[in-house]
């Protein structure tokens, strides 16, 4: 009962139509002097042989040999199975079909041969092998294509789940930093606190709703960056921070949300917070015809507090993983550290 429930009726019907199509394809090439009943009866057995070869290869031999990288065993098994079906057809033809329809086989290759001669005739074997296998090749290609589609779907689901996990790791980290900024201002009873809340609400809208998408327009990403910079500028006086964000947007491409934010956060965290003098940050974003280029450069504190922490390294690893998933072999990340500066350049090929 369980076996019957597992049968895919739609798939069975499609396969039946596939073999019926081949039967009528052969029938359409029948000569006028050939008996229709004999033709259909004989070729039904041939179709049965072709189907046996096809399903034996696809559902038995290939899974047990080729899929397990047993290539020599696959070749031997496939040829052995082909020959076994060929031998059965030759025996069936000799002992049953030819006696039943003697006039139908007068002009057929091997008609006057005995069974041993037929089973060892290279010419007959090659002819029958080619006849048996060509519908099987088409069926195998269809089966292979369906499996590839299933694998691609599973890969996409895995990729989507992995991206969701990575973004869930990144978003709380970003929100925590922003809320920490607001907390600092409220402790000081700073008049800028309401402005921070307004900016934060825009950022929350982006992070909670827009970031569920794999890609957003570059304009929305720019708005997020500007809001984040505005929040950070509220924390520091002009004597502490010199920041410039330049843009060259020729095309409104889509970009993965938050993909550059980790670099900006690190620039503030390691280039500004621990800097006793005036920190400098330079950001630049370009959107060309086939490429997005983001660069950020920040000065390093003269003390040792500006060194990248383990948490920041986790954030960078997170971004690298997202880049590998969203821009496979289509991105280039360059990180350069000197005694006085820290520079990041990201190239995304579209």
Residues 10 and 94 in one domain: yes
pLDDT at 3: 43
Q: ∠ at Cα 231 (192, 171), nearest 5°?
A: 130
Helices and strands: H and E segment counts in the chain: 12, 7
Residues 323 and 204 in one domain: yes
Range of the domain at 300: 153-349
Residues 321 and 258 in one domain: yes
What residue has token string 């079909």?
97
Residues 162 and 107 in one domain: no
For residues 133-151, give the mean pLDDT.
Answer: 69
Residues 236 and 345 in one domain: yes
Based on the structure, what is the number of domains in the chain? 2
**Residue/partner pairs of 152-161 with CB below 8 Å, 24 or more apart:** 159/325, 160/214
pLDDT at 306: 47
d(CA 127, CA 247): 69
pLDDT at 313: 62
pLDDT tens digit string along 88-104? Answer: 988 888 888 888 887 77
DSSP-based three-state secondary structure for 210: helix
Residues 60 and 189 in one domain: no
pLDDT tens digit string along 2-42? Answer: 444 456 787 788 878 878 887 887 778 777 777 788 888 88
Residues 81 and 175 in one domain: no
Q: What is the mean pLDDT of the chain?
A: 78
pLDDT at 318: 78
Strand pairing of 254-255 and 341-349? unpaired
d(CA 162, CA 169): 11
Positive or negative, the Cα torsion across 95, 96, 102, 107?
A: negative
What residue has token string 């019957």?
4
- Quickly state the pLDDT bin for 1 (edges 50, 70, 90): very low
Q: Which of 147-151, 248-252, 341-345 has the lowest mean pLDDT?
A: 147-151
Residues 72 and 187 in one domain: no
Q: Is residue 8 situated within a structural domain? A: yes
Q: Is residue 180 situated within a structural domain? A: yes
Q: Is residue 80 situated within a structural domain? A: yes
Phi first, then psi: give them for residue 342, nearest 5 degrees.
Answer: -130, 120
pLDDT at 344: 93
For residues 170-192, give the mean pLDDT.
Answer: 69
pLDDT tens digit string along 200-240? Answer: 777 777 766 666 677 888 998 898 888 888 877 877 777 78
Q: Which of 97, 120, 143 is the last residue of a domain?
A: 120
Residues 46 and 157 in one domain: no
Residue 179 has pLDDT above 50, yes or no: yes
Rg of the Cα trace of the chain? 35
Residues 329 and 216 in one domain: yes
For residues 56-71, give the mean pLDDT.
Answer: 82
d(CA 99, CA 114): 14
Residues 167 and 77 in one domain: no
Q: Which of 120, 140, 172 is the last residue of a domain?
A: 120
Residues 179 and 80 in one domain: no
Q: Is residue 127 situated within a structural domain? A: no
For residues 109-116, give the mean pLDDT.
Answer: 78
pTM: 0.52
Per-residue b/e over 144-160, b at no fewer than 16 CB within 10 Å? eeeeeeeeeeeeeeeee
pLDDT at 267: 85
pLDDT at 130: 77
Say if residues 19 and 40 touch (Cβ distance below 8 Å).
no
- The DSSP line for 65-94 is TGGGT-HHHHHHHHHHHHHHHHHHHHHHII
Strands (E), the chain: 216-217, 241-249, 254-255, 279-287, 291-299, 331-337, 341-349
Q: Which of 4-13, 132-141, 319-328 has the lowest mean pLDDT?
A: 4-13
DSSP-based three-state secondary structure for 298: strand
pLDDT tens digit string along 240-292? Answer: 888 999 999 998 899 888 788 888 888 887 777 666 678 889 999 999 988 99
Q: What is the CATH number of the domain that holds 301?
A: 3.30.565.10
């Amino acid at each position: 009962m369980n076996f019957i429930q597992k049968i895919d009726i739609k798939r069975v019907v499609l396969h039946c139509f596939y073999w019926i199509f081949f039967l009528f394809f052969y029938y359409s090439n029948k000569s006028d002097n050939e008996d229709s009943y004999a033709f259909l009866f004989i070729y039904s057995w041939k179709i049965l042989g072709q189907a046996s070869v096809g399903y034996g290869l696809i559902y038995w031999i290939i899974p047990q040999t080729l899929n397990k990288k047993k290539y020599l065993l696959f070749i031997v098994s496939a040829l052995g199975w082909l020959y076994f079906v060929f031998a059965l057809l030759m025996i069936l033809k000799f002992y049953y079909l030819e006696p039943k329809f003697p006039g139908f086989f007068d002009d057929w290759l091997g008609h006057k041969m005995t069974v041993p001669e037929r089973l060892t005739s290279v010419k007959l074997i090659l002819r029958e092998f080619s006849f048996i296998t060509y519908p099987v090749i088409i069926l195998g290609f269809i089966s292979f294509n369906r499996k590839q589609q299933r694998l691609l779907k599973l890969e996409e689901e895995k990729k989507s789940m992995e991206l969701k996990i990575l973004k869930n790791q990144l978003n709380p980290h970003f929100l925590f930093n922003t809320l920490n900024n607001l907390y600092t201002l409220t402790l000081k009873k700073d008049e800028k606190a309401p402005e921070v809340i307004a900016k934060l609400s825009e950022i929350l809208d982006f992070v909670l709703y827009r970031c569920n998408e794999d890609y957003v327009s570059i304009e929305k990403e720019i708005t997020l960056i500007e809001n984040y910079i505005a929040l950070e500028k509220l924390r520091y006086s002009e004597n502490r921070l010199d920041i410039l964000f330049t843009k060259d947007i020729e095309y409104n491409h889509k970009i993965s949300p938050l993909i550059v934010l980790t670099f900006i956060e690190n620039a503030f965290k390691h280039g500004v917070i621990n800097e006793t003098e005036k920190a400098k940050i330079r950001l630049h974003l370009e959107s060309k015809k086939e490429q997005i280029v983001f660069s950020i450069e920040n000065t390093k504190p003269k003390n040792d507090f500006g060194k990248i922490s383990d948490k920041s390294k986790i954030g960078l690893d997170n971004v690298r993983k997202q880049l590998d998933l969203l821009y496979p072999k289509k991105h280039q990340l360059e990180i350069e550290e000197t005694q006085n500066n820290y520079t990041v350049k990201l190239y995304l090929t579209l």
